[in-house]
C-alpha cells in the first residue's frame, strides 16, 4: 500500500480487489506525443486513485510525475482527468468508479509539465487579476480596533464561494476554457463573486469593471460543467450568474 494510507501494519485483507491503472505519460521536453502505461493495482474499498498512483511511483516506476500534498481534498494539488472527467485523485475512490480500468490523464486546458502535473500560472494570474481581497480604506488594523461586525446570515452569502481550493477542475471542464485562452474562467469569476458578496467589501465596482471584458464574464454561457465537477461544492456557475446580475442591472 502506498505511503499515504499509512495504517500501522496488518494492511492487506482478503477483501482487496484489483484493477488496471492506465497513466498518461508525456514529457513535452523529450517526447513527441503522449502514451499510456498500464499497471495492475490491488485496492481496498477506501483506496483512492492518488494512493494507487503513488503505489505505482513507489513500486513500479519512480518517474511518474504527479502533484500531491494534503491527501484530504483541501490543498487542490491533485486535479486530473480520471476516467474522462476532471476530479481530485485524492478524493476519488477506486471503488466508486465501478470500472476495471482506471485511466488518469493530466487536466485539460492547462499546459502539461510532465505526465499528470500541469502548469497553474495562468490560474494564479487570473485569480490575482480579479482583486481577491477586501477593498476598503481601513483593512490595516489600528490598535484596539474591533472586528467588522458580520451576522451569520451575511457570512452565508459568500462562504460557499470561499471554499474554493484552486484545484482548477472547473477550468478544466468549462467549454469556453477549452478554446478561449484569454477567458478569466469559472475559478476566478467565482472568487470575484466571493468578495463582491462579502458584506465587508466595498470593491464591487472596480471588480465588475475588470470582468466586464471581451474575455470576461460574458464568455460564460451557463454550461454548468464547472459546478458539476467542483469537489468543494463551490458552484461557480451560480456565483457567475449572480455576478452577471449586477452587470445587467438585475441586482445592485
Partner 1 sequence: MVDSLEFDLIICGSGLAGLRAAIAAAKKGPNLKIGIVSKVQVMRSHSVSAEGGTAAVLFEDEGDTIESHVYDTVKGSDFLADQDVAERLCVEMPQEIRQLDHWGMPWSRRDDGRIDQRNFGGYSFPRATYASDKVGFFEMQTLYDTCQKFENIEYLNEWFVTSIIHDGKRFMGVTAIELGSGTFYTIKGKALIIATGGAGRLYSFSTYALSSTPDGLDMGLRAGMALKDMEFVQFHPTGILPSGILITEGARGEGGYLLNNKGERFMKTYAAGKMELAPRDIVSRSIMTEIQEGRGFKHETGVDCMKLDLRHLGDEKIKEKLGGIREISIKFSGQDPAKDLLDIRPVCHYMMGGLHTDIDGATEIQGVWAAGEAACNSVHGSNRLGANSTSECIVWGKITGELAIDYIQKNDSTNPWPHHLVAAEEKRIYDGIFRGNGDVNPYEIRQQLTDTMNEKAYVYKNETNLVEGLKKIRELKQQTWKHVDDKAKEYNTNFANVMELDSMFRVAEIVLLGAINRKESRGAHARTDYPKRDDANFLHHTLAYYDPNGPIMKTHPVTITKYQPVERKY
Partner 2 sequence: MPRDEHREGIKGMANPTRYGIERVAYWLMRLSGLGLLAYFVAHIYETSNILRGQVGWDEFLELTQTTEGHLFLAIVIAMCVFHTVNGIRVMLGHGGVGVGKPARPDYPYEPASQNYRHKIGIYSAILLAAIAMMYGLAVMFGE
Partner 3 sequence: MRESTIMKIHYGTALAAVALVAVHILMRLTQGFAESLEYENVLANYKFIPYAAMLELILILLSIHGFNGLRVILLELKQGRVYEKAVSYGCLAAMIGLIAYGSRTIIMTNMGMI
Q: Which is nearer to partner 3, 216 or 224 (CB)?
A: 216
| Residue among 58, 20, 62, 18 at smallest CA distance from 37 | 20
Cα–Cα distance, 197 to 161 (Å, whole number):
9
- CA atoms in the 13 A half-sphere facing the CB of 211: 34
Cβ distance to ligand F3S smaller for residue 47 or 241: 241
Q: What is the DSSP letter of 67?
A: -
The cell 457567475 sits on which residue?
Answer: 240
* Cα 214 to Cα 73: distance, rounded to the nearest angstrom: 34
- C-beta of 7: minimal distance to ligand FES in Å? 18
Of 37 and 210, the one with the shorter C-beta distance to partner 3 is 210
Cβ closer to ligand SF4: 57 or 232? 232
- Nearest-approach distance from CB 142 to partner 2, in angstroms: 31
Q: CB of 143: closest distance to partner 1 in angstroms?
A: 7
Instruction: Give the residues lining the site for partner 3 (CB under 8 A).
Output: 176, 179-183, 212-216, 218-219, 247-248
Bridge-based pairing state of the strands 101-105 and 17-25: parallel
From the list ligand FES, partner 2, partner 1, none, partner contacted by residue 30 (C-beta under 5 to 8 A by kind): partner 1
Return the residue of 8, 10, 14, 233 that touches partner 2, per CB under 8 A: 233
Task: Name the one range near ligand F3S by CB under 6 A: 40-48, 77-85, 109-117, 236-244.
Answer: 236-244
Instruction: Mention every residue, 6+ apart, whose C-beta is less than 8 A from residue 248.
Output: none
Closest CA to 200 of 136, 243, 132: 136
Cell, residue 37: 502505461
Tell me the C-alpha distance between 74 and 56, whole Å: 23
**Contact residues: partner 2, CB under 8 A:** 28, 84-85, 106, 108-112, 118, 156-161, 163, 173, 175-179, 181, 197, 221-225, 227-235, 237-239, 241-242, 244-245, 248, 250-251
**Contact residues: ligand F3S, CB under 6 A:** 173-176, 186, 220-226, 236-237, 240
Amino acid at each position: 500500500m502506498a505511503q499515504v494510507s499509512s495504517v500501522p501494519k496488518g494492511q492487506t485483507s482478503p477483501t482487496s480487489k484489483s484493477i488496471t491503472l492506465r497513466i498518461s505519460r508525456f514529457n513535452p521536453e523529450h517526447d513527441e506525443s503522449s502514451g499510456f502505461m498500464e499497471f495492475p493495482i490491488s485496492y481496498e474499498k477506501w483506496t483512492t486513485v492518488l494512493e494507487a498512483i503513488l503505489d505505482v511511483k513507489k513500486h513500479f516506476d519512480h518517474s511518474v510525475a504527479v502533484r500531491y500534498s494534503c491527501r484530504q481534498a483541501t490543498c487542490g494539488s491533485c486535479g486530473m482527468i480520471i476516467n474522462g472527467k476532471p476530479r481530485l485523485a485524492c478524493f476519488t475512490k477506486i471503488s466508486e468508479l465501478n470500472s476495471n480500468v482506471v485511466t488518469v490523464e493530466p487536466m485539460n486546458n492547462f499546459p502539461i509539465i510532465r505526465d499528470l502535473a500541469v502548469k497553474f500560472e495562468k490560474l494564479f494570474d487570473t485569480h490575482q487579476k480579479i482583486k481577491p481581497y477586501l477593498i476598503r480604506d481601513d483593512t490595516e488594523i489600528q490598535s484596539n480596533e474591533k472586528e467588522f461586525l458580520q451576522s451569520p446570515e451575511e457570512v452565508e452569502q459568500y462562504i460557499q464561494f470561499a471554499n474554493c481550493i484552486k484545484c482548477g477542475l472547473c477550468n478544466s471542464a468549462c467549454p469556453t476554457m477549452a478554446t478561449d485562452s484569454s477567458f478569466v474562467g469559472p475559478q476566478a469569476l467565482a472568487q470575484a463573486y466571493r468578495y463582491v458578496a462579502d458584506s465587508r467589501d466595498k470593491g464591487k465596482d472596480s471588480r465588475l469593471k475588470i470582468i466586464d471584458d471581451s474575455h470576461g464574464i460574458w464568455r460564460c454561457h451557463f454550461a454548468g460543467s464547472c459546478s458539476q465537477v467542483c469537489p468543494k461544492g463551490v458552484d461557480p456557475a451560480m456565483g457567475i450568474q449572480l455576478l452577471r446580475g449586477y452587470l445587467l442591472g438585475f441586482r445592485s
